[in-house]
Amino acid sequence: MNSMASSTIAPNPASFISNKKDLGFTAFSTSSQFSIPKCNRRISKKICSVMAPQQSERRPSTTGSVKTAMTMTEKILARASEKSQLSPGENTWVNIDILMTHDVCGPGSIGIFKKEFGQNAKVWDREKIVIIPDHYIFTSDERANRNVDILRDFCTEQNIKYFYDIKDLSDFKANPDYKGVCHIALAQEGHCRPGEVLLGTDSHTCTAGAFGQFATGIGNTDAGFVLGAGKLLLKVPPTLRFVMDGEMPNYLLAKDLILQIIGEISVSGATYKSMEFVGTTVESLTMEERMTLCNMVVEAGGKNGVVPADSTTFKYLEDKTSMAYEPVYSDEQARFLSEYRFDVSKLEPLVAKPHSPDNRALARECKDVKIDRVYIGSCTGGKTEDFMAAAKVFLASGKKVKVPTFLVPATQKVWIDVYSLPVPGSGGKTCSQIFEEAGCDTPASPNCGACLGGPKDTYARMNEPTVCVSTTNRNFPGRMGHKEGQIYLASPYTAAASALTGYVTDPREFLQ
């Protein structure tokens, strides 16, 4: 299943062939035999030089822009820090291409920026900052509303070019600038580009790694510094490589793949490491599915996730951005800490049971788990293709849901898609029509919703100790509201199938 390399120094690429271990080598001999040349003047007893016997083949020094083979992540950070090479563990000042913040962390970041740089200081680049209200929006909570006001005042003062504002909370459609969930909005509005460095004050900023860029979450203090300086000191992470091959069965989605990986390596298995996804399965995934894959690397402790940019990436970006970008790719001889291989054709639909994303189980093993509700939404599971997938299951069954089923589109664009795009094989019906026929709740206003609980009046928040199957990303106690609530993380297929039965259900019951 995997191979571990114990040293970060690889004498040759064969060290990373499955089940081979690289034992590494030391720079100095442990032997006490030193060569001591005689000195010319006999009176001197002083040692003139001490040298160790050479341990390895001496190669000519290399020249040119690349001295050492590097991974994608190392290359992106090297370019952004204007260095010819970087190795895992090095600290380097990185120039930032995009900084994103939202209504929960924005006010704190702005406060730190003003405290440290001065009340009248200007941001480093008003066109490289993207500010997206999305977390606690449709609520009567005064503090939550005030947070959006603070963002608005700052953006007006600094003339920030990309501020996706909302003023009329009674009807999100009356706010043409409002987008919704930051990670999906970043992609849809063309802020994600291969080879760039994107930082955001949200742990799921790693979603943007799907575009072949370095993207990671940072804290308010770091963001306050980036607002003023446009750079940040980052430690270069080592890279874990995940090779996924085989044809994706029609009952699996990217959510199943990432739950499989997290179940395999645990929630701390990739701590401060880059997770690089390659293989024929990954190449076959759409951009939205790749975003799902990269979105949850942080649930394995990952610093960032990354998928090499290809024709799928470039086609997605055609109508999103006119800015030039330069993709980078891992060198053939690049050093990976470990490599994990999966035959996707053999995988089955999965869930993560309470109360951890690595508490992996087969959906069919949980068929006796009675549920109270289903939630389809968030940056992980609230994209257009996620709703299309759920609609496919409802359509195939022709039945009505047995538990309340809440639908929260990630962005305004997704909401429009839910109401306008025909579902394949439905005879022209849209997702919204299929959801209505199946007895689901009306799709809600686009935002982060109940994924992270939020104020008491948040739509679909778990205010009682209920059992929920959710397409979101975390199932820790209290994550969606009530501390005694139980959350089963699942794909949109599995979530829709479970809604139809009232139990955790393998979607193959309806899709085969």
Residue pLDDT, tens place only, 349-397 = 999 999 999 999 999 999 999 999 999 999 999 999 999 999 999 999 9
**pLDDT tens digits, residue range 41-89?**
444 445 444 444 455 555 554 455 546 899 999 999 999 999 999 999 9
Shared domain check, 437 and 299: no
104-110 mean pLDDT: 98
Q: Report in angstroms the alpha-carbon separations of 329 from 64, 129, 206, 305, 435.
A: 18, 26, 18, 14, 41
Spatial distance between the Cα atoms of 292 and 382, rounded to a whole number of angstroms: 10
The average confidence (pLDDT) of the chain is 90
Among the candidates 293, 321, 345, a domain finishes at 345
Question: Does residue 97 contact residue 128 with C-beta atoms inside 8 Å?
Answer: yes
Shared domain check, 409 and 262: no
Residue with tokens 């480093």: 124
**pLDDT tens digits, residue range 166-192?**
999 999 999 999 999 999 999 999 999
Strands (DSSP E) contained in 96-249 are 98-102, 129-132, 162-163, 197-200, 214-217, 231-235, 239-245
Spatial distance between the Cα atoms of 200 and 222, rounded to a whole number of angstroms: 10
Instruction: State yes or no: pLDDT of 404 exceeds 70.
Output: yes
User: Which one, of 127, 168, 159, lies nearest residue 412 by Cα?
Assistant: 168
Phi, psi dihedrals of residue 488, rounded to the nearest 5°:
-105, 115
Spatial distance between the Cα atoms of 143 and 148, rounded to a whole number of angstroms: 9
In a domain, 416, yes or no: yes
Instruction: State yes or no: pLDDT of 125 exceeds 60.
Output: yes
Structure tokens at 141: 């909570």
Full DSSP string of 132-151: E--SS-SS--HHHHHHHHHH
Spatial distance between the Cα atoms of 447 and 406, rounded to a whole number of angstroms: 13
Domain containing 426: what range?
A: 352-511
Cα Rg, the chain, nearest whole Å: 26
Shared domain check, 333 and 192: yes
Question: Does residue 482 contact residue 445 with C-beta atoms inside 8 Å?
Answer: no
Residue 446: pLDDT band (50, 70, 90) is: very high
Shared domain check, 334 and 192: yes
CATH number assigned to the domain comprising residue 333: 3.30.499.10
Amino acid letter for position 103: D
Shared domain check, 178 and 291: yes
Shared domain check, 360 and 331: no
DSSP structure class, residue 41: S
Shared domain check, 323 and 391: no
pLDDT at 65: 54
Half-sphere exposure of 441 toward its Cβ, with a 13 Å CA cutoff?
18
430-435 mean pLDDT: 98
Shared domain check, 398 and 330: no
Query: Which residues, 6+ apart, have CB-to-CB distance to 8 below 8 Å?
Result: 87, 88, 89, 238, 335, 337
Shared domain check, 370 and 254: no
In a domain, 410, yes or no: yes
Report pTM.
0.87
In a domain, 36, yes or no: no
Structure tokens at 374: 């289903």
pLDDT at 58: 54
pLDDT at 16: 35
Question: Does residue 387 contact residue 410 with C-beta atoms inside 8 Å?
Answer: no
Among the candidates 345, 365, 380, a domain finishes at 345
**Higher per-residue pLDDT: 23 or 158:** 158
In a domain, 29, yes or no: no
Question: Does residue 363 contact residue 349 with C-beta atoms inside 8 Å?
Answer: yes
Sign of CA dihedral 447, 452, 454, 458: positive
Cα 259 off chain centre by:
13
159-168 mean pLDDT: 98
Report the share of the chain in percent with pLDDT over 90.
87
Q: Report in angstroms the alpha-carbon separations of 362 from 343, 349, 367, 501.
A: 16, 6, 9, 17
Phi, psi dihedrals of residue 377, rounded to the nearest 5°:
175, -170
Q: Which residues pair with 42 in a beta bridge?
A: none
Question: Does residue 378 contact residue 414 with C-beta atoms inside 8 Å?
Answer: no
pLDDT at 18: 39
- DSSP H helical ranges for 266-310: 280-284, 287-295
Sign of CA dihedral 123, 125, 129, 131: positive
In a domain, 446, yes or no: yes
440-455 mean pLDDT: 97
pLDDT at 250: 97
pLDDT at 55: 53
**pLDDT tens digits, residue range 460-483?**
999 999 999 999 999 999 999 999
Spatial distance between the Cα atoms of 321 and 189, rounded to a whole number of angstroms: 8
118-141 mean pLDDT: 98
pLDDT at 37: 42
- Taking each helix axis from N to C end, the angle separating 492-501 and 384-397, rounded to the nearest 10 degrees, works out to 40
Among the candidates 345, 362, 380, a domain finishes at 345
Domain count, the chain: 2
In a domain, 69, yes or no: no
Long-range contact set of residues 77-86: C-beta below 8 Å, sequence gap at least 24: 77/197, 77/214, 77/234, 77/236, 79/195, 79/328, 80/196, 80/197, 80/214, 86/236
Shared domain check, 222 and 293: yes
Shared domain check, 279 and 210: yes
Instruction: State yes or no: pLDDT of 440 exceeds 50.
Output: yes
Task: Report whether the peptide linkage leading into residue 204 is cis, meaning its omega lies within 30 degrees of zero.
Answer: no
Residue with tokens 């409002």: 178
Shared domain check, 359 and 311: no
In a domain, 56, yes or no: no
pLDDT at 205: 98
What is the spatial order of strands in the sheet that 98-102 belongs to? 162-163, 129-132, 98-102, 197-200, 214-217
Structure tokens at 289: 């599915």
Instruction: State yes or no: pLDDT of 299 exceeds 90.
Output: yes
Residue 141: pLDDT band (50, 70, 90) is: very high
230-250 mean pLDDT: 98
pLDDT at 512: 82
In a domain, 78, yes or no: no
